[in-house]
Amino acid sequence: MPVNNHIAARADEIAAWRQDFHRNPELMYDLERTSAAVAEKLRAFGCDEVITGIGRTGVVGIVRGKGDGPLIGLRADMDALPILEKTGAAYASQTPGKMHACGHDGHTAMLLGAARHLAETRAFSGTAVLIFQPAEEGGAGAKAMIDDGLFARFPVREVYGMHNLPGLEVGRFAMRPGGIMASADHIEIVVDGRGAHAARPNQGVDVVLTGAAIVMALQQIVSRNVDPLEAAVVSIAMFHAGEADNVLPPSATLVGTARTLDQGVRVQLRERIRQVAEGVAAAYGATATVSFKEGYPVTSNHADQVAFAAEVASEVAGASEVDAAAPPLMAAEDFAYMLEEKPGAYIFIGNGPSAGLHHPQYDFADAAIPYGASYWVRLVERALPLTA
């Protein structure tokens, strides 16, 4: 089964939905217009149930097949980013400072296109649970929906997610078992010393020098403490200290991120960051207070579901267009919470030579819509085959 002919024939209409979402971006959980539009379409398609307000502004559509069977979850994220758009597109954001710079408009439109087809054909035995999630961009909307009873109310056997990937050709898919996207923890290190006149550094404890030494020492954690076969990143992205060029400040604050594809390494990074920061600070006569804010966990795919997703994607695009052992990304994704609760797979769909994700010139490739929507339809039909 290649790209579904019925979906391909409606690709322009689905693209128009996508462009409408793009024109009207909303952030985090404040998705009143987007959620309402999604729910309205799901009802118009004839979904058996449309449930709103799960995880505040999440929407779930239920489509039952022609026979009895288990439940399969399909998830799309809906929220935009606080970025000033610079695409110049005719459908560019009408809200300055907000834009769909990660393609969630396309994700939502593709799942809606699949929802309509599934509701019309119902060529499966079981139930398709269509999950439209808020607040992927830092708000842990997936966890909010789970905490609000998503899987208790809809006990899916498996759950699947999909994200567009710039640089991967349109019509191609990529995935891997195990960690496909990283955990992301927020680091804050407050260095306290003793302020002094810049002309008399001997009378103080220089927190700028101490902080710089901490930044340098932290970079040795990955190269000398983490197994070379594991992936890890420690990046200090902000260094705040002082207000005048002739005053050594009494304190400095370092802020950054720690990322990895393994939970054991995640714990190791936290321990070593604390030890290194405190030890270096002590060597300079200062103190360091280290705090962490736990972010998204590792997005860890389940092997059986990845193998199945690769089969489905191969049916849609051809086996040569599917990479089932793609390299992981060190970005983070809150679909990880769903994969901690249920077996499933998170895959990438090609967005072509677009600007990168979270870039002001990024735009979702509408040419990818027939592939993504067809993948969703075929996944349900294969996972929940019609019984005689």
DSSP per-residue codes, 105-118: HHHHHHHHHHHHHH
Element (H, E) at 292: strand 287-293
Catalytic site residue from 79, 85, 334, 363: 79
Of 105, 136, 158, 334, which one is the catalytic site residue?
A: 136
What is the DSSP track for 142-211?
Answer: HHHHHHTTHHHHS--SEEEEEEEETTSPTT-EE--SEEEE-EEEEEEEEEE-B-EETT-GGGSB-HHHHH
**Residue that is written with structure tokens 């990143």 in the block:** 233
Sheet holding 251-260, edge to edge: 232-241, 251-260, 183-192, 287-293
Contact status, residue 42 vs residue 61, Cβ threshold 8 Å: yes
9 contacts 120 by C-beta, under 8 angstroms: no
Degrees (nearest 5) of the Cα angle 18, 119, 22? 10
Separation CA 33–CA 26 (nearest Å): 8
Gyration radius (Cα) of the chain, Å: 24
Would you state the structure tokens that stand for residue 26, as one six-digit string? 């909303």
Ramachandran angles phi, psi of 162, nearest 5°: -150, 140
Class of residue 306 by CB neighbours under 10 A (exposed 0-12, middle 13-18, buried 19+): buried
Residue 79 known to be catalytic: yes
**C-alpha atoms less than 13 angstroms from C-alpha of 307 in its C-beta half-sphere:** 3
Residues with a catalytic annotation lie at 79, 136
